[in-house]
Chain A
Amino acid sequence: MCLAIPGKVESISGDSSEVNFSGLKRTVSLKLLPGVKTGDYVLVHAGFAIQTVDKHAAKKTLKLFKGL
Chain B
Amino acid sequence: MAIIELSHGSGGNKARNIIKDIFISRFSNPILNILDDSACVEGDLAFTTDSFVVEPVFFPGGDIGKLSVCGTVNDLAMKGAKPLYLSASFIIEEGFEMDDLGKIASSMAKTAKEAGVLIVTGDTKVVDRRGGLKPAPQIYITTAGIGKIPKDIDVSSKNATPGDAIILSGTIADHGVSIMNARNDFGFKGDLKSDCASLNGIVEAFLSKDVRVLRDPTRGGLAASLNEIAKTSKVSIVIEEDKIPVLPQVKAACDLLGLDPLHVANEGKFVAFVRQSSADKALKKIKTHKLGKNASILGFVEKGATGVSIKTRVGSLRPLGMLEGEQLPRIC
Chain A positions near chain B (C-beta within 8 angstroms): 1-3, 5, 7, 21-27, 44-47, 65
Contact = CB atoms under 8 A, between A and B. Distances in A.
B188 A24 contact: yes
B331 A24 contact: no
A6 to B, nearest CB: 10
Contacts of B249: 21-24
B331 A2 contact: yes
A63 B192 CA distance: 31
Given A23-B248, A24-B249, A46-B331, A5 B189 contact: no
B331 A22 contact: no
A23 B188 CA distance: 10
Contact of B187 (A2, A5, A21, A27): A27
Interface residues of B, number: 21
Contacts of A47: 187
Given A5-B255, A21-B252, A24-B252, A45 B188 contact: no
Contacts, number: 50
Interface in B289-332: 314, 330-332
Contact of A22 (B189, B251, B330): B251
B31 interface: no
6 contacts: A2-B331, A3-B257, A3-B330, A23-B190, A24-B189, A25-B189
Contact of B332 (A3, A22, A23, A24): A3
A26 to B, nearest CB: 5
A22 B247 CA distance: 9
B191 A3 contact: no
Contacts of B248: 22-23
